[in-house]
Structure 1
Amino acid sequence: MAQDLTPQYTVPGIELEAAGRLIGVLRTRLHALNDLHLTLKHVHWNVVGPHFIAVHEMVDPQVDRVREMADDVAERIAALGGVAQGTPGALVSERTWDDYSIGRADAIAHLGALDLVYTGVITDVRAAVKEAGEVDPATEDLLIEQLRDLEQFQWFVRAHLESAGGKLATAGVSTETDAASRGGEVG
């Protein structure tokens, strides 16, 4: 049974039920961002191989920005009159995706898997932008700003996975394990 997220109050100009729908969308975004932050840190800690330092140093600014995004989403939830559920238990019980599946691995393997993670996150943010745009331009704007940054981060990842001819090693894969194994097929 879906939880009723309708707040007791919200920002001026938004109906309470609409605010409740936005809060639901933003809670999922909050969980995705908290999960992405932890996944990026996991990659940072478990990357090995000849591209170690490049990936290790590329990921930390992404971690910092994703943490800022999560904070912005949590504050928007609160402004709309909702409760920002930022606990690990809420994340795990409410998420609709599986946990990151790659442990200690070569940098390119992690980047292959991370490309798939970013694809999922970006796809979901695009859907959230559309839903928010029907109700609240401020929430829509927040999500669009985050979308731009997430797409740039995926571009950074994909630059390591793309051949000089423009072929993406992870094209067409559907699992992190497949993406990790295909990441090494650049060239």
Structure 2
Amino acid sequence: MNTSDKTAEFTAPGIKNESAQDAIALLDDRLVALLDLQLTLKHVHWNVVGPNFISVHEMLDPQVDSVREMTDTIAERIATLGGVPAGTPQSIVDRRSWQDYSIGRGLVTEHLVALDKVYNGVNKDHRDALNKLSELDPVSEDMLTGQLAELEQYQWFVRAHIESASGELKS
């Protein structure tokens, strides 16, 4: 399913149709990334083992719930702007521009180092979208700003588990 297959005949009052379409495209990319992130977080939650397992296992569920709420907020904003949010599994895979998370069952550090890289990509792309949305739709920009603050905090939680005594991240 392509999000441009169907669009409403309207957008939010005060936003130009072209700006709305550009904002929808940016938000759609963020939707795909966050749907992928919430599934990846749950996958790590199920497959992490070893020392500190329980603290990481319990740290991830609130992140999953929060990211799930972010996806709902973005999908509803897409609809508000006149787009059609698509969240089916195949549509996510078709629109994704990165490789699937490759670790199955693995040790805490192995998963968290990989998860840190996932957060690097998601957070960088969120920030890039913010820069573009500032001109297109300040409401969507504000929404993503709040999300990015949470996502960066979650990355900090991950990094706190993998930081060495010298203050450097293990890789």
Q: Normalised by the size of structure 2, how large is the TM-score?
A: 0.95
Which aligned runs of 4 or more in structure 1 are off by greater than 6 angstroms?
none
Quote the offset at 1:166 in angstroms.
1.5
Q: Is the 8 A contact 2:4 2:83 kept in 1?
A: no
Q: SS of 1:8's equivalent?
A: coil
Letter paired with 2:108:
A
Q: Is the 8 A contact 2:4 2:84 kept in 1?
A: no
- 2:161 paired with 1:160: yes
Q: Where does the alignment leave 5 or more consecutive residues of structure 2 unmatched?
A: none
Quote the offset at 1:164 in angstroms.
2.5
Letter paired with 1:15:
K
Output the CA distance in 2 between the equivalents of 1:89 and 1:32: 14
Higher relative contact order, chain-length normalized (CA < 8 Å, sep 6+):
2
Q: How does 1:1-150 map to 2 (within 5 A)?
A: 4=4, 7-150=8-151
Letter paired with 2:85:
A
Quote the offset at 1:8 in angstroms.
2.4
Output the CA distance in 2 between the equivalents of 1:37 and 1:91: 12
Q: Is the 8 A contact 1:8 1:16 kept in 2?
A: no
Quote the offset at 1:64 in angstroms.
0.3
Letter paired with 1:149:
E
Q: 1:108 to 1:40 in 2, by over 3 A?
A: same
Quote the offset at 1:3 in angstroms.
7.2
Output the CA distance in 1 between the equivalents of 2:91 and 2:135: 27
Q: Where does the alignment leave 5 or more consecutive residues of structure 1 unmatched?
A: 170-181, 183-187
Compute the RMSD of aligned alpha carbons: 1.4
Quote the offset at 1:162 in angstroms.
1.1
Partner deviation per Cα, 1:38-90 (whole Å, 9 max, x = no partner): 00000000011011101100000000000000000000000001000011111
Output the CA distance in 1 between the equivalents of 2:64 and 2:107: 19
Q: Is the 8 A contact 1:7 1:16 kept in 2?
A: no
Q: Normalised by the size of structure 1, how large is the TM-score?
A: 0.87
Output the CA distance in 2 between the equivalents of 1:100 and 1:4: 27
Quote the offset at 1:117 in angstroms.
0.2
Output the CA distance in 2 between the equivalents of 1:116 and 1:127: 17
Output the CA distance in 1 between the equivalents of 2:49 and 2:4: 45
Output the CA distance in 1 between the equivalents of 2:142 and 2:165: 35
Tell me the number of residue pairs that the alignment of Structure 1 and Structure 2 aligns: 169
Q: Is the 8 A contact 1:10 1:81 kept in 2?
A: yes
Quote the offset at 1:4 in angstroms.
4.7
